[in-house]
Amino acid sequence: MHILVIDIGGTNVKVWKTGEADKVKVPSGPEMTPQKMVDEVRKASQDWSFERVSIGYPGDVVHGAPASEPYALGPGWTGFNFTDAFGCPVRLMNDACMQALGSYEGGRMLYLGLGTNLGSTLIFEGTIVPLALGHLKFQKKTFNDYLSREGRESAGDEAWEKLVAEAAAVLKDAFLVDYVVLGGGNAKKLSKVPDQCRRGGNHNAYFGGLRMWEDGKTIASAPARTEEAAAGR
């Protein structure tokens, strides 16, 4: 089965066809509507053959469909028929959940996506549990205030790394997980991976997209929340 994997972001839409290295980027932004996304992805993949599509969506997902409009993109995502637009079966889940699924190595895992904002997902013995940990108070501010890209730029890399390590330790104990995966674009900024943590990355979205079509996987249609959606933005 040939699967096209799409990870929709506020700056770029990443598209994979057959392998982790086989990726192209399409600029997104506030003018990016779902139809424009489909048109741009089709243009970028016009020489590719695929039978299924997996989409990581930056917003609420309920029963495999967008339940809210994304914060950083154009309108029209809720109610859009992706299956008709691509002409083949499509599965869609929250983008942080798709990265978490691609990072999962069994047992109980907490995923923290260190990107523009903090994404978070728990996978408990194969069942995905979307979280919105960014808005919880941590010291004097929220986890998102400290661990987001803006938090790193404000605190500096060294102080930010210490906060990441402390937050990961606190949350690992709180959720009784076996390990924490630190993913997202800023994971590569860590000079050292904290104890009982593993480094992930945006490329794991590709593996998550493939796993969405594995037999027995029911998590592709699970409800999911992003930090922006939880804030009502």
Q: What pLDDT tens digit does each residue of the chain (233 aa) get? A: 799 999 998 889 999 977 666 789 999 999 999 999 999 999 998 888 899 999 999 988 999 999 999 988 999 999 999 999 999 999 999 999 999 999 999 999 999 999 888 999 999 999 999 998 998 998 889 999 999 999 999 999 999 999 999 999 999 999 999 999 999 889 999 999 999 999 998 789 999 999 999 875 444 333 333 333 333 33
The answer to whether 111 and 198 have CB atoms below 8 angstroms apart is: no
The pLDDT score that the predictor gives to residue 17 is 79
Residue 44's nearest CA partner among 75, 20, 13 is 13
Report the C-alpha gap between 87 and 106 in whole angstroms: 34
Please calculate the CA angle 17-118-166 and round it to the nearest 5 degrees: 125
- Where does residue 98 rank: exposed (0-12), middle (13-18), buried (19+ CB within 10 A)? buried
The answer to whether 27 and 227 have CB atoms below 8 angstroms apart is: no
Report the C-alpha gap between 43 and 37 in whole angstroms: 10
pTM: 0.85
Report the C-alpha gap between 42 and 166 in whole angstroms: 43
Superfamily of domain 3-97: ATPase, nucleotide binding domain (3.30.420.40)
Instruction: Note whether 3-97 and 105-221 share their fold.
Output: yes
Domain ranges of the chain: 3-97, 105-221
Residue with tokens 């989409």: 55
CATH code linked to domain 105-221:
3.30.420.40
